[in-house]
Structure 1
């Protein structure tokens, strides 16, 4: 007897058994379909496991990039605003000196300071080059994750087409996904309604009010 190493070998043995054992017409297609389903399902589950592992390792990097971009943008924006405020004060002081036609040396010092701060503002805007690189990196990460799951879904479609059981399982999963989607929409509508009601009455929000939103 040939040694069984793969599910293909199992299917071959089932065909042989059909010749030696009296499988009923109803039972044989069911057993064969079961092993076809398992043959498709095992690599699909392995692929799903790999995709999820890779995605979970990449997503934190993408999140960190976005957080870092936000911090850099905020820091640079504050620096530019502070510089503008300081330059405005120095320009006012310079204007007063010019009106009085006095303090030539002080005027020169102010002009130099304004020039220096202007250069600092220009330098601060260079953060855009860094953030652009980080955004491009984040985009590549998210595209890789998207492509992995797209490949996974294509494999899922292949399983659906290869066996009746695979088709039934796929349909059952779709029904569950639809139920979950409906539940999420209902939860969102409930949350929006409750928070709108609290805001509308402009009442103090207790811990019990907050807890009730997540029941």
Structure 2
């Protein structure tokens, strides 16, 4: 069976696909009236303003994450690993949020997903199964030592994100948490990724020589 080659996506477009759902989530929470018409069939009657904002923003997040995933699949001809897992989690926990009308489920999603990512990477590392290359869709070309170091760091960082989400969820208001989810987690992730540049440069190998290192 012939596998279609993966297409490269314009970095700006990739950024929009990643940040778009979070931006819409924040906007829907701040201005639910802009989206309630579109989500009216799924919204129960008699909601308090806070629950209306929670359910509206959650619904917008579910739809936009799914749309971004489909767009990514159409552009790259592949299903990206981490966005697929994230989309499934958003749909699952978002669905529970709608069923029980409880913000707890969508707030727990980052904690559980980041925890699962961290466990998967570190357990895989302990079993000599490097999962990070697949998770990053082969964007980087590193030697085995580099992948092992990067896997350890990313695994620990995912646990840090899970802990931060819990700290904010337990101590701050819904609106503060929504802002942190939209504009806090991604910048922290970008900063962490950039901080790994020295490690990546030290262990980077040419693509044509990569087979010799594995």
TM-score, length basis structure 2: 0.26
Higher relative contact order (CA 8 A, sep 6+): 1
User: Higher helix share goes to which structure?
Assistant: 1
